[in-house]
Amino acid sequence: MNVQQLVPLALPRGRPLSCELCGAPAQLRCGACRVTYYCDVDHQKADWVSIHEKICQLLIPIRTSFPFFNSEKERKHGMEQLLHRQKHLVDLTHKVAQKFVFEGKHEEAIPAALHSLRFSIDTCGPDSVELVPAYLILAEASTGLGHLTQAEEYLSQAQWIVLKTSDCSNGIQSKLHRNLGLLYAAKGNFEESLCHLATDIYFASCAFGTHDISTSGGYFHMANVFFRQNKMDIADSLYTEVTDIWHAHFSRLIQVQSQTLTSPAEINILSEEEEISEEPLNEAQQAEASQVLNAILDISEQAPKQQPAKTANVVHALAMLHYLILDLPKAHELGMKAFLITKQLPNQDASEAIHRLLKLIKSKLFYTK
C-alpha cells in the first residue's frame, strides 16, 4: 500500500476532496492511482483490503480529466469507453462484495459495496433500479455486523426504488424480501421474517424455478429461523431441500464437464445448449455453496439423532464443490468420508455415485502430477 499525505496549499481551489468511505475531508491519497482519497490510514487500509487493490489502476482513466477531442465522433467514443469502464467496475465491485458477504466477512464487504453503489449512480442515475443490488449488499453486510439501524436505512432506499419501478424484476424483489427477512430475524421478529422469506421464495421461484440455486438461499434462511424457534422437523426438511438443490446442480455441472472432456466431437446441438445453460460457478456462488453446505453439515453432525444418509448427501455435495473448483485433495478427502458413510447404509445407490466421483478425482490428480 502506497499512501501520500496531502498538502493543503498544493490542492486545487474550489474542489474539496473527501474520503472514499465516509465522505469526511481527505488527508491522504493513494500513491499508486493518485485519484482516491481518505480521511485516515484506517479507512485507506479498509478500502485496500476490500476492493481498492483490485481496482486501483482501473480508476485512473475514470477519475482523470477527459482529453481534448477533435471531433464529435471522438467525444462520443470517449464517453462510450467511460461508460463501459464504469459498468465493468459496477459488476466487479458487486461480485467482490457479494463474495465477502457469503464468506461472513461483512466488514470487508462494505467498501466494495459502497463503490458498487457509487458507480451505479454514475452510470444509471440516483433513482435507477440498478442501484438496488448495491443497497441490498450494504444492508446484508450491516445486518451481519449488527448495525440494524443502518441496514434499515439501506433497505428503505432499496424498497422505495422498487415501489417506484413498475416493471421491477422478480429476481430483484426476491433479494429485497430476503434481506428484509434477514433483518427481522436479526431483530428476533421471526413471524415477520418468515413472511418476507416466503415472499422471497415465491419471487425467486417465478424468476428461476423452485429448485434453482438462486431460490435455495430463501429455503436456507427460512430453515435457520425455524431452527432458532426449535422447530427442528421443519428446519431439517428445508435444510434437506437446500442440500438436494446444490447436489443436483453440482451433478449437472460435472456431467456436462465429463461429456465435454470425453467426447467433444460427439456433442450435438442439444448438448451444446445444455453446456451453455450450466455455466461454471462464479466466486460468489462458490462462497455461498461453501457457507451454506458447511453450516448444514455442522448442524447435521451435531444433531442428537444422527441421519447418516442426509449427512452423506451433504458431504457428497461438498466433495463435488471442491472437485469443480479444482481443490482436488479436499474433494478426495470429502469423497472418501461420504463413501465410508454410505457403505453402512442399506441402499447403495449413493455409494455408486460417490465412487464415480472418486474415480474422476483420482484421474485428475494423476494428470496434474
Write down the architecture of domain 231-259+283-368 according to CATH: Alpha Horseshoe (1.25)
Neighbours of 12 (CB within 10 A): 7
User: Mean pLDDT, the chain, as a whole number?
Assistant: 90
Asked whether the beta carbons of 22 and 43 are under 8 A apart, the reply is yes
Ordered by start, the domain boundaries in the chain are 1-65, 231-259+283-368
Res. 156: pLDDT tops 80? yes
- The whole-angstrom separation of Cα 324 and Cα 253 is 8
pLDDT digits (tens, 9 = 90+) for 219-237: 999 999 999 999 999 999 9
State mean pLDDT over 39-47: 95
Pairing mode of beta strands 3-5, 28-30? antiparallel
The pLDDT, as a whole number, for residue 103 is: 92
Res. 270: pLDDT tops 70? no
Q: Is 7 exposed, middle or buried (0-12, 13-18, 19+ CB in 10 A)?
A: exposed
- The whole-angstrom separation of Cα 240 and Cα 313 is 9
The pLDDT, as a whole number, for residue 271 is: 44
Which residue intervals of 56-105 are DSSP H helices?
60-63, 72-102
pLDDT confidence of 250, banded at 50, 70, 90? very high
Asked whether the beta carbons of 120 and 134 are under 8 A apart, the reply is yes
DSSP label at residue 40 = S
Cα–chain-centroid distance for residue 1?
26
13-17, 134-138, 251-255, 333-337: least confidently modelled range: 13-17
Q: Which residue has the higher pLDDT, 136 or 75?
A: 136
- The whole-angstrom separation of Cα 207 and Cα 188 is 29
Q: How far is CA 138 from CA 73, 168, 266, in A?
A: 39, 20, 47
State mean pLDDT over 186-191: 97
Res. 297: pLDDT tops 60? yes
Note the maximum CA span of the chain: 80
Asked whether the beta carbons of 17 and 37 are under 8 A apart, the reply is yes
The pLDDT, as a whole number, for residue 343 is: 87
The pLDDT, as a whole number, for residue 77 is: 84
- The whole-angstrom separation of Cα 351 and Cα 257 is 21
- The whole-angstrom separation of Cα 300 and Cα 293 is 10
pLDDT digits (tens, 9 = 90+) for 319-361: 999 999 999 999 999 999 999 999 888 776 778 889 999 999 9
Res. 11: pLDDT tops 70? no
Record the pTM: 0.86
The pLDDT, as a whole number, for residue 274 is: 43
State mean pLDDT over 162-189: 96
DSSP label at residue 280 = P
Q: Which residue has the higher pLDDT, 67 or 46?
A: 46
The pLDDT, as a whole number, for residue 280 is: 77
The pLDDT, as a whole number, for residue 20 is: 93
pLDDT confidence of 366, banded at 50, 70, 90? low
DSSP label at residue 189 = -
Residue 249: its H or E element = helix 232-262
Q: How far is CA 185 from CA 145, 180, 189, 205, in A?
A: 14, 9, 6, 22
The pLDDT, as a whole number, for residue 42 is: 95
The pLDDT, as a whole number, for residue 333 is: 96
Sheet containing strand 28-30, edge to edge, reads 3-5, 28-30, 37-38
User: What percent of the chain has a predicted confidence (pLDDT) above 90?
Assistant: 75
pLDDT digits (tens, 9 = 90+) for 94-117: 999 999 999 999 999 999 999 999
